[in-house]
Every structure is written in structure tokens, then in C-alpha cells.
A = this chain, B = another copy of it.
């Protein structure tokens, strides 16, 4: 690894830790883990979400997502239901309590994101989003 790569790599790794810890920190007050917060935020933004899409969004394998969903269902925050169009598929939705918890947590996450980004000027934020998407192949070069 060239030394300039190493510098960028270290900065990226540090940034990644900060970004994901933001979910953990937001969840702590509500007794939620990082992954639980990520799942709740994904569902509140999208409405009903299938397990496959959740796994892709959260970067979690199927069996682990099943367990993650189990724990949230046991706590009464989400429910599973069979999808109408494909009876193999499961859709995850929020309960009333889950919605309330997810809203509070989502606002907490959003506030922390704003704090994290407040040192970065608008123009650079736009560039950052573009580069980030390019790196994860969501966007063409």
C-alpha cells in the first residue's frame, strides 16, 4: 500500500467507525443496539421492507437478520407478515410502539448526523455523497 493510500485508508476506517457508532450511541438511551437502530431507521424510512432488502441495506446475512428481527419482534417493536405477491417472502413493519421508538431514535440519529457533518461545507457534502456512492458502485464513474 502506498503511503498516501494508507493515509486515506486510515481516515476512511476512522470515519466508518464514527458513522456506525453514531447508530449505537443513538440507540443506547433506548436500549437498542447499532443493528437494531439501523433496522428501525430503514423500516421507518421505507415502510414495509422485505428481509432480503433489509439484509442488503444493513449488510447482514440472512440467518443473522432472522435473529435480529426475532429480538425486535420479541420486544414488540416490529411484526413479520407474509408478502402477498410471493408467499415465501416476509415483510417487516413497525408496531405502534415500534413506530414511536423508531421516530425518537431516527430523530436522534439525524441530529448526530448533522453534528458529524457540521464542519463540512455544503459543496463538499455533495462531493462526498458522490464519491461515497461511486466507491460502493451505486454510481458510474
A residues with CB within 8 A of B: 1, 4-9, 11-21, 38, 45, 58-59, 106, 110, 113-114, 116-117, 119-120, 124-129, 131-138, 141
Cβ B17 vs Cβ A133 within 8 A: no
Contact of A16 among B1, B11, B16, B128 (CB under 8 A): B16
| Given A15-B135, A117-B135, 4 other A-B residues pairs in contact with their CB atoms under 8 A | A8-B125, A8-B132, A13-B19, A16-B16
Cβ B120 vs Cβ A134 within 8 A: yes
Task: Contacts A1-B110, A8-B125, A59-B21 given; indicate if A15 touches B117 (C-beta within 8 A).
Answer: no
Shortest distance between the CB of A90 and any CB in chain B (Å): 22
Task: Contacts A129-B7, A129-B8 given; indicate if A135 touches B18 (C-beta within 8 A).
Answer: yes
Give A136 to B1 CA distance when docked, in angstroms: 23
Which residues of chain B are near A129, meaning CB under 8 Å? 7-8, 11-12
Report how many copies the assembly holds: 2
Give A59 to B58 CA distance when docked, in angstroms: 20
Task: Contacts A13-B19, A15-B136, A135-B119 given; indicate if A5 touches B128 (C-beta within 8 A).
Answer: no
Task: Contacts A11-B129, A16-B20, A128-B128 given; indicate if A5 touches B134 (C-beta within 8 A).
Answer: no
Give A45 to B11 CA distance when docked, in angstroms: 15
Task: Contacts A21-B59, A59-B21, A135-B119 given; indicate if A113 touches B16 (C-beta within 8 A).
Answer: no
